[in-house]
Amino acid sequence: MRTYFHVDMDAFFVSVEELYDPSLKGKPVVVGGRPNERGVVSAASYAARKFGVHSAMPLRTAYKLCPQAVFVDGHPDRYRDYSHKVYDVLTSFTPVVEMASIDEAYLDITGTERLYGPPLRAAHILHERIGTATKLNCSIGISASRMVAKISSDQAKPNGVLWVIPGLEAQFLAPLDVRKVPGVGKVTEKNLHALGIRKVGDLAKLDDDFLAARFGKWGLALAGKSKGEDAGGWYDTEIGEDEGPKSISHEHTFGEDTADLDRIESTLARLSEMVGRRLREHGLEARTLQLKLRYSDFSTITRAHTPPRATQLDTEIFSEIRDLFRRNWKAGATVRLLGVHASGWGDSGGQMDLLGEEQHQKWKQTLAAADRLRDKFGEGAIGLASGMRGNFREKTHENPAGLPGKK
């Protein structure tokens, strides 16, 4: 039987901001942007959550609920910095670590009893080490199942430790809302409620065949999860066996809709940079590149193209995306949102013509050097000149480049 920890940093973005500005402590704080902007909440302090503010909520809605809150733009480089500090503590505790996001990780501590004692004692040791090294609070869930460990860390918040003893997983889960199950979003929750399923215990009583008939493979995964099993999606692989992303994308919503062609194309250049950076970080090359274009009236088009060979270079991505944009933009129409999406991993094998191949290799070397500078000095340290006018604040809540454990 295995023993897993799920470590989740408490109000991570807010807590890091409080380290830099102690006057924020105890106040309702919203990270993500200004209250008059179109963005969404990346994180909210526990004081702000009491007013109903939560992540992914529009900033303007958060302001209506809690006008006295302090709204902070956020500093992604700081969060990456502290994420690395947390990662260093985790990997010194056990070598089997997988960062699930910038502020949470799974650990396999099976067989460490002689080092740390029983699971609960080990968790308290780790909890203290993280606090000492980072001055941040975290919550730790312990279970023989990664999924249950994740749910138990959520139940332990803030700043707590919770161990679900082996054999009691289903009993622990039964009284919880079905929304607590990882992967159950608003749509699935609504469908389950329509069937009279509100608690995980209600789900566990249903026949596997019934759930499979209603929800397909996801229904079978739900059946397993309701009993405390690691089932479906990410849980089908072991810790450290992450197969990487199925796609990589970045989007930007303009503060005010624009028809300024230079600004639009410069923004596409910046988005292409962000996608290219993450492709190289994962060692991937994209065969399919896609443009997302949303106008002021919210009408949205997506257009994809497969270049002659797979790529991970900012300049090649931007060239393809710009071409897609120029062929599909209604000249003069105001744009609300732009997105760049990469998928269909392949191999860039084969050569271009001599001049094209020489340019490709030069850019490959240049961008590798640029990535090293970003690793050392932050994501804003260097960028394409073509993206300077379209530069925008990186979204705090997105899955950014430069995270620990991803290389």
pLDDT confidence bin for 369, thresholds 50/70/90: confident
Give Cα separations from 216 to 57, 221, 239, 368, 391 (angstroms).
31, 9, 26, 44, 43
**Model pLDDT for residues 147-197, shown as the tens digit of each residue:** 999 999 999 999 999 999 999 999 999 999 999 999 898 888 999 999 999
Predicted confidence at residue 192, as pLDDT, reads: 92
Distances (CA, A) of 328 to 76, 248, 256, 259, 325: 33, 22, 21, 14, 5
What pLDDT, on the 0 to 100 scale, is given for residue 301? 95
Residue 397 scores a pLDDT above 60: no
Q: Which long-range contacts (CB under 8 A, 24 or more apart) does 157-160 make?
A: 157/8, 157/10, 158/10, 158/11, 158/46, 159/10
pLDDT, position 363: 80
| Residue 338 confidence (pLDDT) above 60 | yes
104 is a catalytic site residue: yes
The secondary structure of 250-295, three-state, reads EEEEEEEEECCHHHHHHHHHHHHHHHHHHHHHHCCCEEEEEEEEEE
3-state class (DSSP) for residue 209: helix
CA 172 to chain centre: 27
At 398 the pLDDT is 55
Question: pLDDT per residue over 27-65, tens digit each?
Answer: 999 999 999 988 889 999 999 999 999 988 999 999 999
What is the H or E stretch that residue 335 is in?
strand 335-345
Residues 94-122 have pLDDT tens digits of 999 999 989 999 999 999 999 999 999 99
For 233, the 3-state DSSP assignment is helix
Q: What is the pLDDT of residue 356?
A: 67
Tell me the β-bridge partners of 109.
none
What would the pLDDT profile of 212-262 be if each residue is shown by its tens digit?
888 888 888 999 999 999 987 667 777 766 667 789 999 999 989 999 999
Residue 304 binned pLDDT confidence (cut-offs 50, 70, 90): very high
Query: Global pTM?
Result: 0.81
pLDDT value for 83: 95
* Confidence at 352, pLDDT banded by 50, 70, 90: low
Question: What value does the mean pLDDT of the chain take?
Answer: 90
CA dihedral 351, 354, 355, 356 (to 10 degrees): -10
Q: What is the CA radius of gyration of the chain?
A: 23
DSSP letter at 199 equals B
- pLDDT for the residue numbered 358: 79
- Both tokens of residue 404? 């620990």
Quick one: which H or E segment has residue 43? strand 43-44
Q: Which of 128-142, 250-264, 265-279, 353-367 has the highest mean pLDDT?
A: 128-142
- The single residue of 17, 98, 104, 229 carrying the catalytic annotation is 104
- Residue 355 pLDDT level (bands cut at 50, 70, 90): low
Q: How far is CA 138 from the centre of its chain?
A: 18
Give the residue, 86 or 255, on which the prediction is more confident: 86
